[in-house]
Structure 1
Amino acid sequence: MTDLDLLHFEQLKKDVQAQYLKEYTPSYDEISKWKGIDIIYFQEDLRKKAKGNISEKSFYTYFKNSPVTKLPRIDMLNLLSIYAGYDSWYEFKKQHLFADELLQNDEELSEEELQEIQKTVSSAPILPDNDILLKKQEINTQENTDLQKSITENQSINQNKEKSVTTNPGQVKSKKNFIKKNVWVIVTSVLVVLTGLLGFKDALFSKTYKYCFTDADRGVGVVNTLEIKVIKENESPILYKIKPGECFYYSTKDKNLKMQISSPFYEYLEINRSLENAPDEEIIELKPDDYKMAAYYFSIKDANGDPEELKRKRNQLESLISSNAVIYQIYDNNIYGIERLDKQKYITLVTTPTTSLKNLSVIEMKKDNNGKIISIKFKIATDEKNK
């Protein structure tokens, strides 16, 4: 990568911005100021025209900072170049050459490198077949001589050892030392085993219990991630997160178990169990909060661009969400972590037909005594893996 490549990328960002402004009117003309719904619309247009996608994290990394100090991967550069109207990143640079810039294809060797390789190969010595055979025979002869010599030496050494064994006066003493060494080995092994038993006593004497969760009204698995707090006396609570469809496994040697179960779409539940005669497996029913579920359902429901269906979706959300609701969108990046939206912005976001809505997940949802939603915390995940 050269400084010229970074300058070319800054040029490409301006071309991408100009391409988007031909058809859309974002909150700001400058691409570095886009956020939230503007980024979602841009990702949608990129998928439509260039048949690819960049994550929100990549957008904030390469478009929020100017100038950048690191060049994106080549697949992202090609994708943005195609969106801007060029065949590839190479073609873009080719049409935007700076003064005295020479554009080379990095995958091909230069003429000087090819000449150097040919020179190295031609200067290598070539041995005749006879010379190779002679060298091989010399090596074999030397190996045989060494082998015969080593056999003779080994025989004399073995004979000397046999004589020394029969005439060794300290044989009895050496046997005693051998027994002493073995005794210490046995004692050490016993100590190691006892230490291991003490270290793993909790695992040896504990019992594992399995808890599965189901929707009390529908008789199916829960549709949202559960948070389970295990409360132990004189200890801080231990938090577990259980994904939809998964069961909770808990190993303990205690006689009692206290759990607090919470979820955005289900009512809070506290479980107290005596484990002395408790079954190994249990199914726990959770009471759904239908009001919160309705708000979530209408947020992710696909209206397929039908004006009547979109209007019905907006009316449902208008009636479910309080006018003073506090709504936050969480982002998976370090540059822009959270954004606050008002009720109308949220409704506009979830009633705009984009493929990103299928990845919308609710982290937290609260309602007042009248049943109106007063707080929503959500996130739209990305399908693209971190690069």
Structure 2
Amino acid sequence: MTDLDLLHFEQLKKDVQAQYLKEYTPSYDEISKWKGIDIIYFQEDLRKKAKGNISEKSFYTYFKSSPVTKLPRIDMLNLLSIYAGYDSWYEFKKTHLFAGELLKDEDKITDEEASQLQNIVSEVNIADSDEIKPQNSVSDAPKLNDLQKNNTENQYINKNSDNSEIAQKTLIKNPKKNYQKTAWITATAIFVTLLGLLGFKDEIFQKTYVYCFTDADRNLSVQRDIEIKVIKENESPILYRIKPGECFRYPTKDKTLKMQISSTTYENLEINRNLENAPEEETIELKPDDYKMALYYFSIKDINGENSEQLIKQKRKQLESLISNNAVITQVYDSDIYGLETLDKEDYITLVTTPTTSLKNLNVIEMIKAKGKIVSIKFKISSHENNK
């Protein structure tokens, strides 16, 4: 990467911005000021015209700061170049050369050609190592055989007569040494056994408790993600995430258990158990939360077909009645720099009533209601980057 490449990328960002402004009117003309629904509309247009996508995290990393200090991956550069009207990143740079700049032929090398070169180099290295090994083995073998012959012939002639005297002395001392050796082995075995019991005492004395979850209204297993916080005295809570339809398995040697259970569509529940008398397997009923259920349904419902306009109006009306005018609505991003963004009620309703593919990845993290209205929503649109 060169400084010229970074300058070319800044040019490409301007071309991408100009291309989008031909058909759309975002909240700001400058791409670095786009946020929320503007980014979603841009992602949708990118998927339609360039058959690929960039995540919100990538957008914030490369478009929110200028100038950038590092280039995106080559597949993202190619994708943005295609969106701006060029065949590839190489072709874009070729048409935006600076004074005195020359593009090297190596810049145009494809991934397939690079892989073929790497395979050829690996095969040459293997062939070289195979040719060297046989020469070393042939030259060393005779020397080893000669040394073994000489040593063997000398040993049996010189030391045979002394062996009988050493054996007689050893027989006298062996009984006493055998008793000592046996005692040491026994003591060591006992020590190792005690040490093992101390090291694995938690695994030996703990039990595993299994908790499964059912819908209180439907008497079926819960088909939503569940979060469980295990609360221990004088310790920070331990968070567990349970996938739809799965049970929670908790190994412990404690005598009590305190859990806080939450889900996007069920009422929060706190469980306290005395494990001395509790069964090792238990089924817990979760009661559906009507407000959470409605918000979740209206947020992810796909609106298409002939009656889409009527359905959108109906969806907006229902969300208007559910959400308080002063509700605090927060969108969570993957980006470390731009982690949170606040939306007002109308922006949120517009976001979830616009039929885009991004809504399929919308996840309501938290919802709080008071006095019959939703007063707080925290949500995230999961990023599934696919630049192919």
**TM-score, length-scaled by structure 1:** 0.84
Amino acid at match of 2:164: T
| Larger displacement relative to structure 2 (254-263 or 44-53) | 254-263
Identify the residue that residue 330 of structure 1 maps to in structure 2: 332
Amino acid at match of 1:45: D
Identify the residue that residue 115 of structure 1 maps to in structure 2: none
Deviation at 1:264, TM superposition (A): 3.6
In structure 1, what is the Cα distance between the partners aligned to 2:6 and 2:200?
Answer: 57
Deviation at 1:320, TM superposition (A): 1.0
In structure 1, what is the Cα distance between the partners aligned to 2:357 and 2:163?
Answer: 86
Identify the residue that residue 152 of structure 1 maps to in structure 2: 150
Identify the residue that residue 204 of structure 1 maps to in structure 2: 204
Confirm or deny that 1:280 pairs with 2:280: yes
Identify the residue that residue 376 of structure 1 maps to in structure 2: 377
**TM-score, length-scaled by structure 2:** 0.84
Deviation at 1:69, TM superposition (A): 1.3
In structure 2, what is the Cα distance between the partners aligned to 1:226 and 1:303?
Answer: 27
After superposition, the CA RMSD in angstroms is: 2.8
Amino acid at match of 1:366: I
Query: After superposition, where does 1:1-387 map in structure 2 within 5 Å?
Result: 1-106=1-106, 143-144=141-142, 147-168=145-166, 171=170, 172=172, 180=180, 183-232=183-232, 236-304=236-304, 306-369=308-371, 371-384=372-385
Alpha-carbon displacement from aligned partner over 1:112-159 (angstroms, at most 9, x marks no partner): xxxxxxxxxxxxxxxxxxxxxxxx8xx969844652452132232244
Identify the residue that residue 120 of structure 2 maps to in structure 1: none
Alpha-carbon displacement from aligned partner over 1:19-43 (angstroms, at most 9, x marks no partner): 1111111111111111111111111
Assess if the C-alpha contact under 8 Å between 2:90 and 2:108 holds in 1: no
Amino acid at match of 1:372: K
In structure 1, what is the Cα distance between the partners aligned to 2:370 and 2:138?
Answer: 94
Q: 2:217 is paired with a residue of what secondary structure? A: coil
Identify the residue that residue 123 of structure 1 maps to in structure 2: none
| Larger displacement relative to structure 2 (43-52 or 145-154) | 145-154
In structure 2, what is the Cα distance between the partners aligned to 1:47 and 1:27?
Answer: 21
Alpha-carbon displacement from aligned partner over 1:324-383 (angstroms, at most 9, x marks no partner): 1111111111111111111100000001111000111111111112x2111111111111
Identify the residue that residue 118 of structure 1 maps to in structure 2: none
Deviation at 1:99, TM superposition (A): 1.5
In structure 1, what is the Cα distance between the partners aligned to 2:369 and 2:147?
Answer: 94
Deviation at 1:322, TM superposition (A): 1.1
| Larger displacement relative to structure 2 (246-255 or 206-215) | 246-255
Q: 1:271 is paired with a residue of what secondary structure? A: strand
Taking CA–CA contacts closer than 8 Å with sequence separation of 6 or more, which of the two structures ends up with the larger relative contact order? 2
In structure 2, what is the Cα distance between the partners aligned to 1:235 and 1:73?
Answer: 43
Q: 1:47 is paired with a residue of what secondary structure? A: helix
Structure 2: runs of 5 or more not aligned? 110-134
Deviation at 1:219, TM superposition (A): 2.5
Amino acid at match of 1:333: S
| Larger displacement relative to structure 2 (213-222 or 290-299) | 213-222
Deviation at 1:263, TM superposition (A): 2.8
| Larger displacement relative to structure 2 (244-253 or 168-177) | 168-177
With over 3 angstroms needed to count, the CA separation of the structure-2 counterparts of 1:237 and 1:7, relative to structure 1, is closer
With over 3 angstroms needed to count, the CA separation of the structure-2 counterparts of 1:348 and 1:177, relative to structure 1, is same
With over 3 angstroms needed to count, the CA separation of the structure-2 counterparts of 1:159 and 1:70, relative to structure 1, is farther
With over 3 angstroms needed to count, the CA separation of the structure-2 counterparts of 1:107 and 1:27, relative to structure 1, is closer
Identify the residue that residue 126 of structure 1 maps to in structure 2: none
Amino acid at match of 2:241: K
Structure 1: runs of 5 or more not aligned? 110-135
Alpha-carbon displacement from aligned partner over 1:228-253 (angstroms, at most 9, x marks no partner): 23344565544333233221111223
Amino acid at match of 1:154: T
Q: 1:378 is paired with a residue of what secondary structure? A: strand
Alpha-carbon displacement from aligned partner over 1:188-217 (angstroms, at most 9, x marks no partner): 343222112112112111111110111111
Amino acid at match of 2:149: I
Deviation at 1:56, TM superposition (A): 0.8
| Larger displacement relative to structure 2 (278-287 or 250-259) | 250-259
In structure 1, what is the Cα distance between the partners aligned to 2:69 and 2:25?
Answer: 29
Q: 2:204 is paired with a residue of what secondary structure? A: helix
In structure 2, what is the Cα distance between the partners aligned to 1:98 and 1:69?
Answer: 19
In structure 2, what is the Cα distance between the partners aligned to 1:366 and 1:160?
Answer: 95
In structure 1, what is the Cα distance between the partners aligned to 2:60 and 2:264?
Answer: 29
With over 3 angstroms needed to count, the CA separation of the structure-2 counterparts of 1:164 and 1:357, relative to structure 1, is farther
Alpha-carbon displacement from aligned partner over 1:268-320 (angstroms, at most 9, x marks no partner): 32323343443332211111111221122111111116111111111111111
With over 3 angstroms needed to count, the CA separation of the structure-2 counterparts of 1:353 and 1:177, relative to structure 1, is same
Identity %: 70
| Larger displacement relative to structure 2 (218-227 or 281-290) | 218-227
Q: 2:348 is paired with a residue of what secondary structure? A: helix
Amino acid at match of 1:39: I
Aligned residues: 358
In structure 1, what is the Cα distance between the partners aligned to 2:139 and 2:383?
Answer: 70
